[in-house]
Amino acid sequence: MKLSEEKTELGKVQAGDERLWVPGLANAYWFATFNALSFQIVLGSPMVLYAKSLGASATVLGIIAGMMPLLVIFQIPAARHISRVGYKRFVFAGWGTRVVIIFLIAAVPLTYSFLEPQSQIALLLFLLFGFNLSRGISSAAWLPWITALVPAEVRGRYLARDSACVNGASALTLAFSGLVLGQQPSPWRFSAIFAFSALMGVVSLSFLKRIPDAAGPESPAASAVQVPWPAIARHTPFRKLLKFNIAWSIAYGGLAAFSVAYLKSASSMSEGTILLITAFSYAGGLGGLALFGTRLDKHGSKPVLIVCIVGWVLILLGWTALSGNAIRTTPGYVLGLELFMGLGYAVYSMANTRLAMAVIPPMGRDHFFALYSVVSSLTLGLAPILWGILIDAFGVKTVQISMFTLNRFSLFFLLATIAYAVTAWLCGKLEEPRAANVQALLRDLLSQSPIRSWMRFWPRG
């Protein structure tokens, strides 16, 4: 398609928003907002800090971080039941179960008077297993539901707005959690933020019920034409996307948990300070959406992903230098890393999901999405566990190399950097119909964004 035709088509989409937009879809944004206010506490930094306060090892932290993506494997058997139950009922049942379990998790910190820390960790792991199991089953219907509900022409715009809601709510949640926990958090403070998570989950369910349902495609199992798993895996654009996501999952798996663990172990920062700094990562996410959100439908996902992954290599080099004592740990430096991490994850998540929507065919969509989610999530679940074992195995040993100290955390960040370099190579092999090149995206960014104004102040010799 010629450039002039692309601009004409883009103008039609922008002019026809009212025709393309689905009535009632705004409820999906409210659901995303309150869902983020809930899950960021149970699955994010607050849970890592609570487990750390109980004396959890890096391997246990890896299990906590990896449990959610590991249990996505249950999307495979769940996919066959979606067409019978319906998208909305399927998701609502799983999310409702999650909320009940969060209320139980909120009671765990209050058992400190009669349970040893190791027993509390065991109880916590048991409840988190139930929480993530219900999520893993019910999430099989979410992406097919949204893909069927949102027209292809405005999916990038929908994903950008959805991600903005999640990032904004996540920043508020972590800031609130940081203020509640303070400098030396007592068990009841952890219990309070877990209870807040449960209440926000209840509110999110009220908006989930208002999202319009969508008719699912005919189930391949019930169709005259069978779509076996090997045939799905051999679909060339889809296979390349799977390889890319596996590499990403290895690189990213455990990064959020172990960066928090590093800050708690190697610096004098309190739980409250760490959460407040981590909250700024979602401000970075909002900045990434402002830069790339409206450009996804215009340039495509692939060039955005290439720029994003190169940025992740630079971010991990920054963490490697910090953990290797080549750079002094300061709140400002850590804040900058967190901002760019938030930007990088928001842009990756949005562009990667849109690319999956583009390359997955309508026939067998539920099963394609199930395999896509399971393969990448299994890797994302196993990676932090293996990283945690590596960190524990390296122990407290250090190797001095000039100004750089190789220790358990700098080794982790260094290997993650290499994994991101491999991810960047695989990103270049992705297939996407009508995607622009990276040069066009960079020209657009430099000519129509605040970057152009910032460049004016760059020193010129």
CA atoms of 71 and 73, how far apart (whole Å): 5
CB within 8 A of 16, min separation 6: which ones? 153
- The pLDDT tens digits along the chain (461 residues) read 333 443 443 344 344 444 446 677 889 899 999 999 999 899 888 998 899 889 988 889 889 888 888 887 887 788 777 877 888 888 998 899 999 999 999 999 999 988 999 999 999 999 999 999 998 888 888 878 888 888 777 777 787 788 888 888 988 998 899 899 887 788 999 999 999 999 999 999 999 999 888 765 555 444 444 545 676 777 788 889 999 999 999 999 888 888 888 888 877 677 888 888 888 888 887 777 777 767 777 777 888 899 889 999 999 999 999 999 898 878 788 889 998 998 888 889 888 888 888 887 776 677 777 788 778 888 888 899 999 999 999 988 889 988 899 999 999 999 999 999 999 999 988 888 777 777 777 787 777 655 454 444 344 43
Contact (Cβ atoms closer than 8 angstroms) between residue 37 and residue 173: yes
pLDDT for residue 406: 93
pLDDT for residue 380: 85
Contact (Cβ atoms closer than 8 angstroms) between residue 382 and residue 253: yes
Does residue 6 sit within a domain?
A: no
Does residue 70 sit within a domain?
A: yes
**Number of domain units in the chain:** 1
Phi, psi of 208 (to 5 degrees): -60, -40
Contact (Cβ atoms closer than 8 angstroms) between residue 177 and residue 277: no
Does residue 145 sit within a domain?
A: yes
Does residue 178 sit within a domain?
A: yes
pLDDT for residue 109: 94
CA atoms of 457 and 454, how far apart (whole Å): 6
Contact (Cβ atoms closer than 8 angstroms) between residue 145 and residue 95: no
Does residue 174 sit within a domain?
A: yes
Does residue 444 sit within a domain?
A: yes
Does residue 340 sit within a domain?
A: yes
> Domain span at residue 254?
25-213+221-448
CATH number for the domain harbouring residue 272: 1.20.1250.20
CA atoms of 302 and 320, how far apart (whole Å): 27
H runs (alpha helix) in 293-364: 296-299, 301-323, 331-359
H runs (alpha helix) in 54-154: 58-70, 75-85, 87-107, 117-138, 142-149
pLDDT for residue 51: 92
CB within 8 A of 310, min separation 6: which ones? 424
Helix-then-strand count for the chain, H and E: 22, 2
